[in-house]
Chain A
Amino acid sequence: DIQMTQSPSSLSASVGDRVTITCRASQDIGNRLAWFQQKSGKAPKSLISAASSLRSGVPSRFSGSGSGTDFTLTISSLQPEDFATYYCQQYSDHQWTFGQGTKVEVK
């Protein structure tokens, strides 16, 4: 199966900071990568699919990039409601796998 590795596992940031999270796939997945945001006690929320397509209603400060094996989620200016855990997910084959998550905490 395809392994997904996120980095860092956690980071501390302040409101207004630019935040970057990376996700690496163990093999080429094209652009078949999604990003999710999860707040404590809640179901994950879809942010991005196809590596860079923002879901309807997701603020434009979120962006995704990459293809093949290396991907990035960027929050251009961190807002108070963005403190959460973020997961990447590959859907290149019929065996979905997720990254281990990146927790964005208050600095």
Chain B
Amino acid sequence: QLQLQQSGPGLVKPSETLSLTCTVSGASTSPQYWGWIRQPPGAGLEWIGSIFHTGGTVYYNPSLKSRVTLSVDTSKSQFSLRLSSVTATDTAVYYCARHGVSGYFLLPPDFWGQGILVTVSS
């Protein structure tokens, strides 16, 4: 059974870089993507981006693209999110997720990490 375990700091200072990691266990070797989605307190869901499970192909939300870097470390079964120059508006619960792919289409997420609340504050 696939499990996604998230880790990273819960507090980041303004203008610094938010870094989160998701450790994967029980994953298949089938083509799939690892994604990141966030949810500000009391608000809805916002997709951040997705990366192919072996690295390489990456898709970003255009509104965040200039500040986001996604990466995969297959040797550690981990994938990571870095979000630079954070402000208070980046305060949110950040989720990692798995989603499949079917031809051109990135399928919706079917497994989610537990989520981490990251607060941006000095």
Contact = CB atoms under 8 A, between A and B. Distances in A.
Q: Chain A's interface: helix, strand, loop or mixed, by majority? A: loop
B46 A98 contact: yes
A43 B112 contact: yes
Max chain B CB contacts within 10 Å: which of A87, A92, A96?
Answer: A96
B61 A89 contact: no
B108 A46 contact: yes
Contact of A100 (B44, B105, B107, B114): B44
Contacts of A89: 45, 108
Interface residues of B, number: 18
Contacts of A87: 44-45
Nearest to B108: A34
Interface size class of A (residues with CB under 8 A): 20 to 34
Contacts of A61: none
B44 A99 contact: yes
Contact of B113 (A34, A43, A96): A43
B44 A101 contact: yes
B59 A94 contact: yes
A81 interface: no
Q: Chain B's interface: helix, strand, loop or mixed, by majority? A: strand
B105 A91 contact: yes
B25 to A, nearest CB: 16
Contacts of A43: 95, 112-115
A55 interface: yes
A106 to B, nearest CB: 19
Max chain A CB contacts within 10 Å: which of B45, B46, B110, B112?
Answer: B45
A70 B110 CA distance: 23
Contacts of A46: 108-110
Interface of B: 44-47, 59, 61-62, 95, 105-110, 112-115
Interface of A: 1, 32, 34, 36, 42-46, 49, 55, 87, 89, 91-92, 94-101
Per CB-CB distance, the 4 closest pairs between chain A and chain B, nearest first, are A34-B108, A43-B112, A96-B47, A98-B45
